[in-house]
Amino acid sequence: MIAENLIKELKFKTVRSGGAGGQHVNKVSSKVELIFDLQNSVELSSEEKELLLKNLQNKLTKEQVLLLNCDESRSQHKNKEIVIDRFLQIIANGLKVQKKRKASKPTKSSIQKRLDKKKKQAYKKAFRSKPKLE
């Protein structure tokens, strides 16, 4: 439900796709650019906007606009579907709240194993030294 309303807020721009393709590429605008203005979104709550701003800060422009491009297919419609799927996945991942990490202490057995390993290594290295002739 929310996804459908978010899609209504998207703006699309079609551009001529670069790269190889012959004469066809010079006539057809198959590359699709998706533009989503996060700040002016009506569908998202202020908490969701703050979470997205934090989680997607490296994908947003200075004006808090998300820009996505797709030129994988020669079909404009296919590229539009691909970029919408990508957008919905980015928004879904951006809205996930990470669990707080609980600090844990090492177990007694792991501490004991580490100390035993250190003793064994020290013992091994002590035998490598030359004997003292005093």
Between CA 44 and CA 10 the distance in angstroms is 13
| Confidence (pLDDT) at 85 | 93
Q: What is the DSSP letter of 29?
A: -
Mean pLDDT, range 101-127, rounded to an integer: 94
Domains of the chain, by residue range, sit at: 2-94
Q: Provide the edge-to-edge strand list for the sheet that holds 31-37.
A: 11-15, 31-37, 65-70
Q: Which fold has domain 2-94?
A: Double Stranded RNA Binding Domain (3.30.160)
Between CA 69 and CA 112 the distance in angstroms is 55
Query: pLDDT of 43-78, one tens digit each?
Result: 888 888 888 888 888 888 888 888 999 888 888 889
112 pLDDT band, cuts 50/70/90, is very high
Alpha helices in 1-132 (DSSP H): 2-8, 23-27, 46-55, 76-94, 108-126
| Nearest in space to 31 (alpha carbons), one of 3, 68, 66, 61 | 68
Higher pLDDT, 23 or 54: 54
**Position 14 pLDDT exceeds 60:** yes
**Position 127 pLDDT exceeds 60:** yes
Mean pLDDT, range 95-112, rounded to an integer: 91
CA 74 to chain centre: 26
Beta-strand ranges (E) seen in 16-133 are 31-37, 65-70
